Structure 1
Amino acid sequence: MTTEIERKFTVAEHWQVPDDAVGLHLRQAYLTPPGAPVEFRVRAAGNARALTAKSFDSASGAMVRQEVEFAIDPAVFEQLWELARRDSLSKFRWSVPLGDEHLASVDEYDGPLSGLRVVEVEFGSVEEARDFRPPSWFGEEVTGDPAWSNRELAASAQQYETKESADEPAH
């Protein structure tokens, strides 16, 4: 099990993807309902497939989670994806260096969440996370706000998609 320490922010409208940024398309789906004490997710990142379990560390605050992640066979991923498809999202993740110390992961969502961009930065300690001063292209901090978790965004995407389908005229 690993400890994940991160802060999350919106991205300022003026920000553009740097020419030297490395990007990767991600698809992820959730096998547990919103609000579950342990979150189970499957993710496709390029050719890699993984199953992840995450749990908040209530003693350490909203930016600390315990995480177990392991690679799974692509056929197993597809079976789990089918089980969880309703609660899924798709995004492109850009890795943007922040000086010599940190790496920002900028997520640009597509599908029903198209246009939404958030940035996360991982840290080695809670103290390092607290001392971090975000660059000017970071927007509002949303660390710990459940509405900005990928789990909740996946549920929102499904609700939006369902509403859009209901609003379309019958053919």
Structure 2
Amino acid sequence: MEIERKFLIDKGRLPENYKTYPSKSLKQGYVLHRPCLRIRKEQSGDSDPRYIMTYKDNGGLARQEINIEVPADAGEKLFTKCDGHIIEKTRYLIPAGVKDTSSGRDLTIELDVFEGEFLGLVYAEVEFDSKDSARSYTPPEWFGKDVTEIRGFSNSDLSLNGLPGITDKA
């Protein structure tokens, strides 16, 4: 089960040092959108890329998620079967400085800085160990609007429909 909250981020409010944190390049496309069947290529530094097929059911705050690593040739073939826009972004892993209230695990902010067609878009996602922990989380001041439960802001929706009408990212 994936339990996460997603926030829009105004690029002008990003921490100045965000690029100093560990990061990986992500390229992802969607074979299906509802439920979601995604292929993702992820690469950190000079390491070999990994290809991961992910199934996610419909949902906002919490949903079933299954990940399976696939060979590179299969991953590349699956990209040719994707519907909609291919999403490219860099994900920075930033310590949140707080713990999950149910497990005591240190939380991590996954800061996604989009490239290509979605250049300028920035999301922050935080994964939790329980719905109660997710609901009780107080985001840092630099986070913008919570879009967890708002249709149109999932990566699947971005891929299928492009950017929703965002006039105020914060």
**What band does the TM-score fall into relative to the shorter chain?**
0.7 to 0.9
Does structure 1 retain, via aligned residues, the 8 Å contact 2:18–2:92? no
User: 106, 127, 133: which is aligned to 2:111?
Assistant: 106
Question: In the alignment, residue 128 of structure 1 is paired with which amino acid?
Answer: S
Does structure 1 retain, via aligned residues, the 8 Å contact 2:31–2:37? yes
Residues in 2 aligned to 1:67 and 1:39: alpha-carbon distance in whole angstroms: 9
Does structure 2 retain, via aligned residues, the 8 Å contact 1:8–1:143? yes
Residues in 2 aligned to 1:79 and 1:92: alpha-carbon distance in whole angstroms: 22
Post-superposition offset of 1:157: 4.0
Post-superposition offset of 1:100: 4.6
Instruction: After superposing the two structures, state which structure 1 stretch, 11-20 or 44-53, moved more.
Output: 11-20
Does structure 2 retain, via aligned residues, the 8 Å contact 1:142–1:148? yes
Larger radius of gyration: 1
Structure 2 unaligned residues grouped into runs of 5+: 44-48, 100-106, 164-170
Determine the structure 2 residue equivalent to 1:24.
24
Residues in 2 aligned to 1:19 and 1:42: alpha-carbon distance in whole angstroms: 25
When normalised by structure 2's length, the TM-score is 0.82
Residues in 2 aligned to 1:27 and 1:63: alpha-carbon distance in whole angstroms: 23
Extract structure 1 runs of 4+ deviating beyond 4 A. none
Question: In the alignment, residue 110 of structure 2 is paired with which amino acid?
Answer: S
Residues in 1 aligned to 2:148 and 2:19: alpha-carbon distance in whole angstroms: 27
What is the count of residue pairs matched by the alignment? 149
The CA RMSD measured in Å over matched residues stands at: 1.7
Residues in 2 aligned to 1:157 and 1:143: alpha-carbon distance in whole angstroms: 17
Residues in 2 aligned to 1:99 and 1:32: alpha-carbon distance in whole angstroms: 36
When normalised by structure 1's length, the TM-score is 0.81
Post-superposition offset of 1:89: 0.7
Post-superposition offset of 1:85: 6.1
